[in-house]
């Protein structure tokens, strides 16, 4: 029996999972929508991974979780490693690009930048402030122009004179865009302008004051957009690497961290058939009114958190 | 008249300094002190509800807690002369509270010229006309002593509590010390509490590596010191196994270096030319100090809408680049969640931890 390691990345939008062997080769991988139900998504994910997985020759001996629901999912999967998404992304990416110096990431709702030196993250920043640097801005503007999000890239690459769009802040960018449409700029130029604006806004906000060195790896949903990739290459003056497995880097990092960690626990695929639920218990101990999240397997309480002080611990 | 009966004085919660406010009000001024309830979600909701939009979070916290103090029976509120906008905020606070229909007297220190000795006596007399100045001064200085002890012990605590090898003994000693300060009635109570905690600290076994991770905390005066406001940033970092260092406290900023700021300014002349805000000079100086002492990271803390500290950030970026020291910038607003903060802190910890192994 060879050892294998499971990594799961549960974000607000998508849920990703990989199983790797001890050389970081991917044995199984899956990507599905979270749809506001992390428990359901993880059960489905595990079921789909099981189908791809060679149970006769491999055994999962450690499990890592990451993403915004890492704690909940960690409790459910009996994870041996629960890691924040920044570390998981950095570890996943450096495993495949040991020389990487800069990781750009733009997701649907947020974006981050990680600077790497000698395979170790040395600086990072996260942004949740300005929507103009995220995928949500891109898709809403595509809708305004009446084109599919998937086609943005091709449109943008056809443009020879990208329209200048004020990129400082979402509100300005939107009104400027409307103005440029009314002035009759061609659609591909406007789309290219929007891609430039996303890149510029990202570099101005998240990337502010950060020294971006090559090799640069670009991840997150928006990295699938060729227009934004081209905009980054133009502004940064260096090639920008987009890995086809880029969306899995968080899950990969979680799996690798689980492999490197000391915890060992055989993973049981049967968990798909078990009943998990969460309950929110309000502590009335003081005006903080902490909401304590309790996770149950059947009737058994397996984990809880959210209380600010010990008084809330008795409540579950 | 209010003058005839003893005043019930309050000042909003601020880190753990309320034990010293209480001591000074009761022992030195001979008034009653109303301890406002600890800061909670309710405080923030009250504060946010009645504050104008443009103010920073510390203002909202103070307003919320002043309302709670009035509810608890305070008839006199004290407002310090602030470091920055907080100084001008006094009038605004008073106006909002009056509009809400509260009856109270508001003693705003920024209305007095604190450089004149006579003014101090005027303030004291306003609290209690029967005060004997000599006795007041002696007991006031005991309160100041308490602040110094508090700052000294708190600094020690956050540098060491993350390495407690005795199952929370360090933390319990610190809590006991705080209790002792909150109940102290005399100089000997203060001294005894201080001696006890020093003894307890030095007899607690610490499990500290030779080169522990060290992080320096800088930032805006209120949020950087108040554990409720910064979501227990220092405790969270310490619990990960980090030596947490913070220079900024009342002792260093006001009591010792109040006039020494000039010297700090000279020391950072190469980094910035002007004084940019109430605490910028000290923060820039201390950030570089941490970098030069080989710390593993710096955390910069500010509340949303705090303009002075925004100006400090580019200078910190330069320090970070020059000394190759990671700087984490945290901005707190009412929406900042524990979960979000933990993600950033854990990532920061992983980063400085892995970096140390490689270097
Ligand atoms: S857990 Fe503690 S802080 Fe939270 S509501 Fe209960 S008593 Fe208050
Ligand atoms: S320093 Fe910042 S947080 Fe403090 S009062 Fe001034 S603006 Fe507000």
Distance between CA atoms of residues B244 and B253, nearest Å? 18
Domain ranges in chain A are: 2-90+251-273, 99-242, 276-313
The CA distance from B327 to the nearest CA of chain A, in Å, is 7
- In sequence order, the β-bridge partners of residue B302 are B331
Cβ proximity of B223 and B305 under 8 Å:
no
- Shortest-distance Cα residue to atom 1 of ligand 1: A312
Share of chain B above pLDDT 70, in %: 89
Q: Highest mean pLDDT: which of A114-123, A192-201, B100-109, B276-285?
A: B100-109
Distance between CA atoms of residues B145 and A202, nearest Å? 50
Span of B128-137, B192-201, B264-273, B299-308 with lowest mean pLDDT: B264-273
Determine whether the interchain pair B324/A211 forms a contact, defined as Cβ–Cβ distance below 8 Å: no
| B251 DSSP assignment | I
Alpha-carbon distances of B34 from A88, B8, B91, B244, rounded to whole Å: 49, 6, 21, 32
Ligand at minimal distance from the CA of A287 is 1
A124 touches chain B (CB under 8 A): yes
Residues, chain A: 316
In this predicted structure, what is the pLDDT of residue B236?
A: 95
In this predicted structure, what is the pLDDT of residue A163?
A: 76
pLDDT in tens, B226-243: 999 999 999 999 999 999
Distance between CA atoms of residues A253 and A28, nearest Å? 15
Using alpha carbons, select from B154, B294, B317, B182 the residue that is nearest to residue B238: B154
Determine whether the interchain pair A123/B320 forms a contact, defined as Cβ–Cβ distance below 8 Å: yes
In this predicted structure, what is the pLDDT of residue B18?
A: 95
Nearest CA in chain B to A67: B343
Mutating to test ligand 2, I would choose from B63, B84, B224 the residue with most ligand atoms within 8 A of its C-beta, which is B84
A126 touches chain B (CB under 8 A): yes
Residue A174, Cβ neighbours under 10 Å: how many? 18
Q: Which residues of B touch A86 (CB under 8 A)?
A: 343-344, 347, 350
Chain B residues whose C-beta is within 8 A of a chain A C-beta are 37-38, 40-43, 313-314, 317, 320-321, 324, 326-327, 329, 339, 342-344, 346-348, 350-351, 354-355, 358
Q: What mean pLDDT is predicted for residues B236-254?
A: 92
Kindly state if the Cβ of A309 falls inside 6 Å of ligand 1: yes
Tell the CATH topology of B8-131. Rossmann fold (3.40.50)
The CA distance from B37 to the nearest CA of chain A, in Å, is 10
Does the interface predicted TM-score (ipTM) exceed 0.95? no
Ligand at minimal distance from the CA of B57 is 2
Considering the entire predicted model, what is its pTM? 0.83
Kindly state if the Cβ of A286 falls inside 6 Å of ligand 1: yes
Kindly state if the Cβ of A290 falls inside 6 Å of ligand 1: yes
Q: Which residues of B touch A85 (CB under 8 A)?
A: 343, 347
Distance between CA atoms of residues B93 and B204, nearest Å? 44
Distance between CA atoms of residues A226 and A215, nearest Å? 18
A209 touches chain B (CB under 8 A): yes
In this predicted structure, what is the pLDDT of residue A172?
A: 63
Tokens read off for A267: 């993973």
Q: Report which of residues A274 and B266 the model is more confident about.
A: A274
Distance between CA atoms of residues B347 and A83, nearest Å? 8
pLDDT in tens, A277-314: 888 888 888 888 888 888 888 888 888 888 888 777 76
Tell the CATH topology of B209-359. Rossmann fold (3.40.50)
Distance between CA atoms of residues B303 and A215, nearest Å? 35
Q: What mean pLDDT is predicted for residues B144-168?
A: 94
3-state secondary structure of A301: strand
In this predicted structure, what is the pLDDT of residue B83?
A: 55
Specify the DSSP element, H or E, that contains B216. Answer: strand B213-219
pLDDT in tens, A132-151: 556 677 777 777 777 777 77
A86 touches chain B (CB under 8 A): yes
Q: Which residues of chain A have a pLDDT value below 50?
A: 316
- The mean pLDDT of chain B is 87
pLDDT in tens, B76-99: 998 876 555 556 778 888 999 999
Alpha-carbon distances of A92 from A29, A95, A273, B14, rounded to whole Å: 14, 5, 30, 43
What number does CATH give the domain A99-242? 3.30.420.40
Q: Which residues of B touch A288 (CB under 8 A)?
A: 40-42
In this predicted structure, what is the pLDDT of residue B257?
A: 58
In this predicted structure, what is the pLDDT of residue A316?
A: 47
- Shortest-distance Cα residue to atom 7 of ligand 2: B306
Tokens read off for B297: 């990271």
Cβ proximity of A267 and A53 under 8 Å:
no
Nearest CA in chain B to A89: B347
Superfamily of A2-90+251-273 according to CATH:
ATPase, nucleotide binding domain (3.30.420.40)
Q: Report which of residues B323 and B257 the model is more confident about.
A: B323
Q: Compute the distance from residue B118 Cα to the ligand 2 centre, in Å.
A: 29
The strand pair at A102-106 and A216-219 is best described as parallel
Kindly state if the Cβ of A313 falls inside 6 Å of ligand 1: no
Atom of ligand 1 nearest to the CA of A282: 5
pLDDT in tens, B310-320: 888 889 988 98
Reported confidence tier of residue B65, pLDDT bands at 50, 70, 90: very high
- Shortest-distance Cα residue to atom 8 of ligand 1: A286
Nearest CA in chain A to B324: A122
* Whether residue B172 has pLDDT greater than 70: yes
Q: What is the CA radius of gyration of chain A?
A: 22
Residue B263, Cβ neighbours under 10 Å: how many? 11
In this predicted structure, what is the pLDDT of residue B262?
A: 58
* Whether residue B2 has pLDDT greater than 50: no
Q: Which residues of A touch B354 (CB under 8 A)?
A: 120-121
Distance between CA atoms of residues A87 and A73, nearest Å? 17
H helix and E strand count, chain B: 15, 8
Tokens read off for A123: 């600086």
Q: Which residues of B touch A123 (CB under 8 A)?
A: 320, 326-327, 351
């Amino acid at each position: 029996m060879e050892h294998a390691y499971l990594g799961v990345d549960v974000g607000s939008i998508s849920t990703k999972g990989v199983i790797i062997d001890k050389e970081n080769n991917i044995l199984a991988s899956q990507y599905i929508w979270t749809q506001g139900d992390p428990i359901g998504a993880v059960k489905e994910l595990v079921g789909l991974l099981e189908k791809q997985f060679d149970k006769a020759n491999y055994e999962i001996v450690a499990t890592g979780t990451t993403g915004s629901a890492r704690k909940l999912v960690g409790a459910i999967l009996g994870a041996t490693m629960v890691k924040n998404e920044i570390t998981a992304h950095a570890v996943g990416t450096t495993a495949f690009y040991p020389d990487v110096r800069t990781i750009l990431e733009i997701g649907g709702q947020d974006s981050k930048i990680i600077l790497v030196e000698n395979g170790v993250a040395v600086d990072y920043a996260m942004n949740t402030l300005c929507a103009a640097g995220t995928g949500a801005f891109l898709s809403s503007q595509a809708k305004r122009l009446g084109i599919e999000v998937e086609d943005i890239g091709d449109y943008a690459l056809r443009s020879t004179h990208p329209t200048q769009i004020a990129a400082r802040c979402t509100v300005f960018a939107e009104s400027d865009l409307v103005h440029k449409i009314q002035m009759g700029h061609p659609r591909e130029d406007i789309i290219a302008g929007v891609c430039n604006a996303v890149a510029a806004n990202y570099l101005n906000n998240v990337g502010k004051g950060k020294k971006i060195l090559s090799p640069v790896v670009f991840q997150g949903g928006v990295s699938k957009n060729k227009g934004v990739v081209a905009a980054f290459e133009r502004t940064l003056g260096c090639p920008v690497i987009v890995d086809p497995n880029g969306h899995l880097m968080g899950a990969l990092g979680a799996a690798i961290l689980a492999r490197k960690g000391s915890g060992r626990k055989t993973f049981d695929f049967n968990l798909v058939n078990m009943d998990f639920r969460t309950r929110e218990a309000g502590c009335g101990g003081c005006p903080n009114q902490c909401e304590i999240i309790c996770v149950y397997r059947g009737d058994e309480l397996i984990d809880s958190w959210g209380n600010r002080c010990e008084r809330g611990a008795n409540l579950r | 008249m209010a003058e005839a009966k003893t005043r019930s004085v309050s000042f909003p919660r601020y880190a753990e300094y309320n034990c010293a406010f209480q001591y000074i009000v009761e022992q030195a001024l001979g008034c009653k002190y109303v301890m406002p309830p600890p800061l909670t979600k309710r405080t923030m909701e009250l504060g946010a509800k009645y504050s104008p939009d443009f103010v920073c979070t510390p203002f909202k916290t103070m307003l919320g807690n002043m309302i709670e103090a009035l509810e608890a029976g305070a008839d006199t509120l004290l407002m310090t002369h602030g470091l920055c906008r907080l100084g001008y905020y006094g009038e605004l606070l008073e106006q909002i509270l009056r509009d809400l229909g509260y009856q109270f007297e508001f003693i705003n220190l920024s209305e007095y010229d604190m450089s004149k000795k006579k003014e101090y006596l005027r303030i004291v007399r306003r609290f209690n006309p029967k005060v004997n100045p000599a006795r007041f001064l002696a007991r006031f200085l005991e309160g100041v002593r308490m602040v110094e002890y508090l700052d000294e012990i708190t600094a020690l605590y956050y540098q060491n509590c993350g390495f407690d090898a005795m199952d929370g003994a360090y933390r319990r000693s610190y809590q006991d010390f705080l209790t002792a300060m909150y109940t102290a009635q005399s100089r000997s109570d203060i001294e005894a509490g201080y001696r006890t905690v020093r003894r307890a600290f030095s007899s607690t076994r610490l499990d500290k590596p030779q080169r522990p991770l060290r992080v320096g905390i800088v930032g805006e005066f209120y949020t950087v010191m108040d554990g409720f406001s910064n979501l227990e940033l220092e405790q969270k970092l310490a619990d990960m196994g980090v030596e947490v260092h913070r220079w900024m406290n009342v002792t260093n900023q006001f009591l010792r270096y109040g006039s020494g700021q000039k010297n700090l300014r000279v020391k950072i002349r190469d980094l910035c030319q002007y004084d940019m805000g109430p605490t910028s000079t000290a923060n820039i100086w201390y950030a570089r100090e941490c970098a030069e002492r080989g710390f593993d990271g710096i955390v910069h803390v500010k509340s949303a809408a705090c303009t002075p500290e925004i100006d400090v950030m580019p200078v910190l970026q330069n320090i970070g680049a020059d000394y190759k020291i990671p700087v984490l910038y945290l901005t707190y607003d009412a929406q900042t969640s524990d979960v979000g903060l933990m993600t950033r802190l854990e990532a920061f910890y992983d980063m400085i931890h892995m970096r140390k192994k490689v270097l």
